[in-house]
Each structure stands twice: as C-alpha cells, then as structure tokens.
Amino acid sequence: MATLVSIDGQIVSPAEAKVSVFDRGFLYGDSVFETIRTYDGQPYALDEHLERLAGSAQRVAIELPVSVGQLRERVLRVVQESGNPESYIRLMVTRGSGELGLAPDLAVEPLVVILVTPLTPPPPEAYREGIAVISHHTRRATDSTLAEGAKVGNYLASVLAMKEAKSRGAAEALILDADGRVVEGATSNLFLFTSGPRPVLVTPPVSAGILPGITRAGVLEVARELGLQVELRAPTLDDLHRASEVFISSSIRELLPVVRIDDQQVGDGRPGPLTRQIHEAFRAFVRRPGDRAGD
C-alpha cells in the first residue's frame, strides 16, 4: 500500500511533493476540492464528483486547467499506481500562484493536486453503537455568496466546529443557519426519520445552501427504491430531538447513526433499524453492475 501525490499530472511520493508558498490555495484557501473513496479499487461516482468539482470551480471563477476527462484519467492513474486495496482520494484545484494580493487576476495557471492514501474508514463500533454530535451556530465561508454550495478549500468554520465537537466528546458538529435550521454537518449531510407509524426520511434541500453530497444522492435513491417517503426540508433542533432516528452521510464514512445530540438522546439511544436497512441497501447499491464507479 502507498500514499502518492499527483501534481499537475506528475506522480511523486509525499516527501517529493512540493507546492509554492505563493499558491493561493495555501495563502487564502482559494481552491475547490473533492473527497472520493474507492469500492473494490475503483473510485465511486467519479464522474459525479468531477462534475461537482467543475461546478464548484465555476462558482468561484477558477478555470480548470485541463478537461474533466483528463482529470478523470489522472485520478484513475494515481489510484492504480498506489496499489491500495481501497483508497481515499482528495482532488484539489487551486487558483494558482502569483503576486501577493486578493485580486483573482494576480494568479496564473491553476494547480491540480491529487492525494491518494490507503482508506481508513470509521471503526466498526461507530456503526454498531452510533456517534454523538453537537449543534453549532456558525456562518460558512460561502454562505450568502455566489459560491454558496461550492466545495471550497476555506474550511475554517468547519475546523472550529469540529474543535468544539471534539472538546465535548462528539464526532461531528451539526451546523445551524441564521434562522435556526439545521442544514448539514461540518463534514457531512444530515438525515432524520420522523417518529410515528409511517416514518418519513427528512433531509435539507440543496436550496438551504448545503453541499449536494454524492453519498446523499445515493441515499435518496436507495430510500425511494425501498419505498420510503422522503421530505426535503431543513429541520430544527426540536425536529431532531423528536426524531426516531438520525444519521449523517459522507463519502468516506457512508452512513453513521447519531445516537446523541448535545446532551439529549436520539430515540432509544441506539442505531435504529431504518438506518441499518438503508445503510445495507446503500452498500449493495454502490457495487451494482453498471454503477457509477470509475471503471
């Protein structure tokens, strides 16, 4: 197994990987990125990730220096050369280097960096026992801007949210917007099942300013296939406290059940049957013949 880095198409070891200190990704977080994982050695939903990357770049006015097809080839090549059974992939495009200053036209030639490292998923007990999360009021870097919904490199708000979560013994922070709605996790999308005889799967809509997660899209497709009723709305904390089940989703972690929010237990304090059902269905979904893997 290996960790490899591709810088503008040249694959090197981590020790050899160098980026200029004048790169705007380093100086200002002026970049966009994607996080991808493999299943059976193939990047899952690679085309969807690349499409989202291109959309993020367009929102922040970064012109991709190569085509989406060339990016695809670069990702597949470095994954293959790593020799990892399963890989974590981080694909980044910065605005490039140039003179100091915030004006975008000071930068020249956007930079493409691809990191590939062996995949380390959450421990089994996280799925078996569930995780604790906290609620966190903050404004994200792209809120109420033309870049809203883009996956940008400026993650300071999420870093600080995760710092608070860790200090309180939690694994994730749920972000509340200015109206008190819970829109997403610091590094994840959010789902809940309502209580009652016919539970409804609720998740915030893209219009709430969330990152349109690739795993989120798969979860919604699987839920509909299972005949579950789906409602797109941003819940309040009260909605979460009344929920029978809550879970988060992300590319690396898939679906993680949430059993505690702040100091309040979710449901009976254990991962629920609907979360387990939808997670099992999702894991089968990503390995279907003709799915959206990179092969």
Other beta carbons within 10 Å of 267: 19
What is the rounded distance in angstroms from the CA atom of residue 134 to the CA atom of residue 240? 12
DSSP tag of 17: -
Per the annotation, the verdict on 166 as an active-site residue is no
Among residues 18, 151, 163, 166, the one annotated as catalytic is 151
CA distance 40 to 84: 10
Burial of 54 (0-12, 13-18, 19+ CB in 10 A): middle
Name the phi and psi angles at 254, rounded to 5. Answer: 60, -115
Give one DSSP letter per residue of 125-156, joined into a string. HHHHH-EEEEEEE---TTTTSTTTT--BS--H
* Distance, CA of 258 to CA of 248 (rounded, Å): 7
DSSP-derived pairing of the beta strands 229-232 and 131-137: unpaired
Q: Are 40 and 132 in contact (CB under 8 A)?
A: no
Distance between terminal CA atoms of the chain?
20
As annotated, the active-site residues are: 151
